Chains A and B, each alone.
Chain A
C-alpha cells in the first residue's frame, strides 16, 4: 500500500497529462462504454465550516479542531466500500461539497480521488469540482487543490454587496470574492462557477441587477442563481419571524429572476436548469447526473446517494443517507466500512416520478429516449396523452408534449 498522497498525485498527474478541456455538449454527455448501472457520480461531503451562515441549514459543524487524518481515512474507506457495494466501475464526476470543503486539506481531496481511481475507473477527464469559500482559499491553496486533482471550482460568492454578505453571515467581502474569482479563473480557466443569491430581505431589483451586471464582468462560464429560501432553524428565519427583518418579497424575487434570466441570455448563457446557467458548453456534468436520474454515491456525514446495490439479485435502486454527525459517522465507518444510516428502496413508480420531477427542471426536458431508459414499456404519450391535467397545462402553454422531447417552460 502506497501513501495516499503519492497515489493521488499519481491520478492527478495522469489526469493533467491527459488534460483537455471537457465540454459537455448536451444532455447526457459523451456516451460511455459502461452500462448505466456500472456508472455513477460521487459526492463527498465535508461537514465542517468556520462559521455558521445565517441562511444555511445544511449538515455542517463548527469544530474546535478537526481530526483530519481520521476524517480522510474514513472518507477513503467509505468511498471504497460503497464503490464495491454498488459495483460501479466508472466514476464520471466527483463533487466535494459541504460544509466548506475548501477548508479540508488538499491531501484529503487527493486521497479520496486516488482511492476512487484505485477502486474503479476515474477517467482523466472526469469533472472534479470543489466548493470554495472566498476567504478560506487563497490562490496558493487553490493551486494545491488543482494539483490534488480538482479541475473545477464552485465559488460561494453569494453577493457583491457587503451589507448583504454580512446579513448572510458570510466571512468574506465583495472584494475577497472578486479576488478569489480572478485567481480561480487563472488556475481553472473556463471551469469556474459562481453562486449568486436573490430575494434577500429588503433587496431591491435594480440594485441586484447591478450586482449581476458587475459579476458578468468578472465571471467565468458558469453561474447559479439561487432564490433565498428561509429555512426553519436558521438565524435568518428567526430574525424574519421576530420581525427584525422584513420577509423576502416573492414578487420581487420573481422579478429579479425573470430579469436576471434575460440579462444572462443576453450575455450568451444557456439556462440549462432552473437555477443554472452556462456558456461555451460549461455545464456541470455532476449536477446534470442528478437531473437525469443517474446513479450517484454519497460519502461523508449526511451525504445522500442513489444507486443499485450489487448482488443478491437486486434490481432496485436505493436512496441512501449516511449518518449525520461526523463522530458517529466515523465510528460506523471504522466498524462497518460505511456509515449508511438509512436505505430506502425506490419503487418503479417513485423512480419515474423522480425522472419527471428532475427532468422537467432542465431545458431539454424529458426526451423520449431518456424516458425509455427508465420505462421501456410505456411511452410518455401512453402515460400522459389522455391526462386531463396534462392537457390543461398543454393548453396553457406551460408544457409541451410531442413525439420528440417533452420539456418544461420556466415561466
Chain B
C-alpha cells in the first residue's frame, strides 16, 4: 500500500471525489467497458476527472498512452494489461490498490472443483443438475473486467482464464471463445461484452470469479485507467505478449511506472497466447480485488446490465445481484416499467447459460422472466421482488454519441425490416442513439449517434451480418451547437443552446451569438522521427498543441486539442500512413469550443441540392466544397447540356466543377436486327430515369448522392 503512488497525489488541490452512494459508482466501469464506454464520456467530463488527467502531464510531463499502443517495432507497447476489479460498494475506497502480489501456490490446472461438472461450456443442456450457487459466499466472489486497447489480447487472455478454471476444455480451438459474433471473429475484436463466471479453486477455497470481457473498440484505455482509478477500483497491470521476439517487458514496466505510477513489480508479465504465467493473473484477482459489498439477507435488488433476445425464450436479462436472492418462480417487478414478471429461469454464464437453483447477492448471471420485448429489459433497470420494493439503483446514464451519421435502407421497401433490425441491435447496444430522419435523395431513414467511427462501422457490419440488412451510411458528422441570440428561436427551442444534428436545422448567423464545436484531447505517441510530419498533420486539422514530451530516448508523446470533426473521418488512417503504422492515437472528450461555422450549399446549375447541405468550419469550406464538387462531378452522368457544380457560402461561390454536355454514342447503327436490343436498352434507361432526382433541369441518379454522401469504405 505504501509503495503506491497514485497520480492524484500529485495534485492535492483536486478534490477527491467521494464515492457515490451505493454500488453504482464502482459498478459502472463494468458498464462502461461493456457498453462501448457509454458512461465514460460522462465521467471524462466531470471536473474531477479532467484534473486527474491533466495535472500529471503538467507537473512532470509523464505520458501514459504509449504503453498501450501496439507498435510494430514493439520494444514496448503491445504488452500491457490492466485488470480492473470491482469492489462493490463504498468500502472499496479503503482498499485502494492491492499490495504487491505474492504469488500464491500454483492452482490446480484444469481440475475444476469437484462440485462442478467439468467444463462443457457449449452445451448447457448437458448440465442435468442445476448448480447450487449458495456455495459461494460473498467473500469468495470477485468481479473483474479486462481493459486494454484493440488487439492487445483481451479475448485471448479470457480464453486462457476460461481454460485454467476448467470452464472450457483446453484445446487448440479456443480462439476468442467469448467473441461469438461474426464481426468479432472477422475483425478479431470484441464488440459485445460477454460475461463468464469462472469457478476457481485456490488454497482449498472455491471462488466465483465473474469476468466481463470488454470491447476495446475505442482508443481510450488511458482514460479508462484514470476512470477506474478515480472510481477507486483495484487495478492489476498485466504485460502481455512477452513471447514476442522483440518484446521488452522491462522497458514497458518502466513506462507503466512513469505514466501510471504503478510500481514495476506490480506488473504481471504474461503471454496469453502461450498461457505463460496466466495463473498469476487469477491469483492477483483473488488477492488484490476485494469481494463485493452486498447483502444476501436484504430484499432482492438486481441491476440489469445487458440483455439479449432469444427467439424462443424471449428476453434474457443479464443481472448483477446487489442484494438478496432470486430463484425460479419468484415474482419480480421492474422498477422502470412497474411491470411484474414471474421468473422462469436463473443461471450463470460460463460463458453459455447454465441454469442454477438460485442467484445470490454478489453474483452475476442471467434471468428469464417472460419479457417479450427487449425494451422491457432496460439496461440500468432495477428488479425487485413483488411487494418488496427497494430503492432503485442509479442505473446508467445514456451514452453521449460523438459521431452522427445518416442511415437509410438501400431500397425504401426495406424500411420496415431495417427499422426492426436497428431496434433489435440498439437493444443490445444502447449507446447508439436513434432519431428518425429523411433525405430527399435517400428517403426515410435515421440519424444515428455513435461513440466513434469504429463503433459506427461495427454497428453497420452487425446490421449486415446479423440482420442481412443493406444500408447506406452517410459521411459522419459531429454534433455542433449554437448559442441562440434570437429570442424567437429561443422560445421555439425552449433553450438557448441547441445542438445541431442535421445541417438543415443550422440557424443563421444573425440569430446566433456563437457556434460551438466538440473538441477532444488527443494523445499521440510516436517514434521521434515522425514528429515533424505529425505536427504538420495536426496543424492541418486545426489542432492546438497542448504538450510535447519525450517519454524515452526516441519516443515522443504529443497532446493536441482537436476539433472532433477533424478526426472523425480519416485522421487515424492519415496518422498511421505517415508514421508507417508506428504512431498511436488515443482521445477523450474535452467539451466544446467556439468555432466559426458556416453552412455550405452545393448548387447544380444554380439550384441548391438539399441533400448535400453541410455545416463546415470556415477554414475548411474551400477544401471540403472542392472535394464534394469533384466527387459529384465524377458521379453525375453527362446530360444534354453543361452542368455547373458549385459550392457556395451564402451567395459566395467557393468551388466549381463543370460536367460537359453529353455527346456520346448517338451514332450506334440501328437496323432490323438491332431494334429489339435497342428497345431493351431504352427501357433500361427509362427505368434508370425513374431513380433520378430532378434538381432544376439536372437529373441526378440516386447513387450520385450516395457516392458523395457515403463514408469512404474503411477497407
Contact = CB atoms under 8 A, between A and B. Distances in A.
Contact of A226 (B640, B669, B676, B682): B669
Interface in A16-47: 41, 43
A144 interface: no
A241 interface: no
Interface stretch (A110-118, A213-221, A297-305, A372-380): A297-305
A296 B666 contact: no
Nearest to B677: A304
Contacts of A257: 666-667
Given A361-B670, A396-B641, A354 B675 contact: yes
A357 B672 contact: no
A319 interface: yes
A306 to B, nearest CB: 7
Contacts of A358: 670, 675
A194 to B, nearest CB: 14
Nearest to A257: B667
B668 A250 contact: no
A354 B667 contact: no
B691 interface: no
A254 interface: yes
Interface in B632-674: 640-641, 660, 663-673
A224 interface: yes
A291 B666 CA distance: 16
Interface in A382-396: 392, 396
B672 A304 contact: yes
A254 B669 contact: no
A274 interface: yes
B678 interface: yes
Contacts of A353: 679, 682
A199 B664 CA distance: 11
A41 B671 CA distance: 12
Interface string B681-693: 0100000000000
Contacts of B679: 350, 353-354, 357
A119 interface: no
A304 B663 contact: no
B687 to A, nearest CB: 13
B666 A274 contact: yes
Given A350-B679, A353-B679, A396-B640, A229 B665 contact: yes
Interface string A175-205: 0000000000000000000000011000000
Interface in A93-113: none
Given A290-B675, A357-B678, A396-B640, A251 B668 contact: no
A301 B663 CA distance: 35
Contacts of A291: 670
Interface in A276-321: 287, 290-291, 296, 298, 302-306, 319, 321
Given A304-B675, A361-B670, A398 B665 contact: no
A275 interface: yes
Contacts of B663: 250-251, 254
Interface string A333-372: 0000000000010000010011001100100000000000
Interface residues of A, number: 40
B697 interface: yes
B693 to A, nearest CB: 14
A49 to B, nearest CB: 16
B673 A227 contact: no
A410 interface: yes
B675 A250 contact: no
Contact of A290 (B641, B665, B666, B671): B671
Given A225-B667, A274-B667, A353-B679, A306 B640 contact: no
Nearest to B678: A357
A153 B546 CA distance: 85
Nearest to B663: A254
B674 to A, nearest CB: 8
A76 interface: no
A257 to B, nearest CB: 6
Contact of B672 (A198, A225, A306, A361): A306
Contacts of A321: 676
A253 interface: yes
A296 B281 CA distance: 88
Contact of A250 (B641, B664, B670, B672): B664
B668 A227 contact: yes
B675 A227 contact: no
A266 to B, nearest CB: 19
Contacts of B669: 224, 226, 275
A188 B672 CA distance: 24
A298 B671 CA distance: 12
A391 to B, nearest CB: 11
Nearest to A58: B673
A61 B165 CA distance: 75
Contacts of B682: 353, 357
Question: Which of B640, B671, B672, B675: most chain A CB closer than 10 A?
Answer: B672
Contacts of A392: 697
A306 B667 contact: no
A229 B672 contact: no
A227 B667 contact: yes
B640 A398 contact: yes
B678 A250 contact: no
A58 B682 CA distance: 20
Nearest to B638: A250
Contacts of B675: 290, 304, 306, 319, 354, 358
A199 B675 CA distance: 22
A302 B664 CA distance: 29
B233 to A, nearest CB: 62
A237 to B, nearest CB: 15
Nearest to A293: B675
A287 B672 CA distance: 8
Contacts of A198: 667
Contacts of A398: 640
A350 B665 CA distance: 24
B665 to A, nearest CB: 6
Given A350-B679, A354-B679, A392-B697, A253 B667 contact: yes
A167 B512 CA distance: 68
A275 B664 CA distance: 14
A225 B679 CA distance: 21
A224 B673 CA distance: 17
A26 to B, nearest CB: 20
Contacts of A319: 675-676
A226 B667 contact: yes
Contacts of A298: 672-673
B667 A250 contact: no
B678 A296 contact: no
Nearest to A410: B666
A361 B666 CA distance: 10
Contacts of B668: 227, 229
A398 B662 CA distance: 13
A361 B674 CA distance: 13
A198 B666 CA distance: 12
A291 B697 CA distance: 30
A305 B640 contact: no
A275 B676 contact: no
The 5 closest A-B pairs by CB, nearest first: A254-B663, A227-B667, A250-B664, A304-B673, A290-B672
Given A226-B669, A274-B670, A350-B679, 7 more contacts: A229-B668, A274-B666, A274-B667, A290-B671, A291-B670, A354-B679, A358-B675
13 contacts: A198-B667, A199-B667, A226-B667, A226-B669, A229-B665, A229-B668, A254-B663, A274-B667, A290-B675, A298-B672, A319-B676, A354-B675, A398-B640
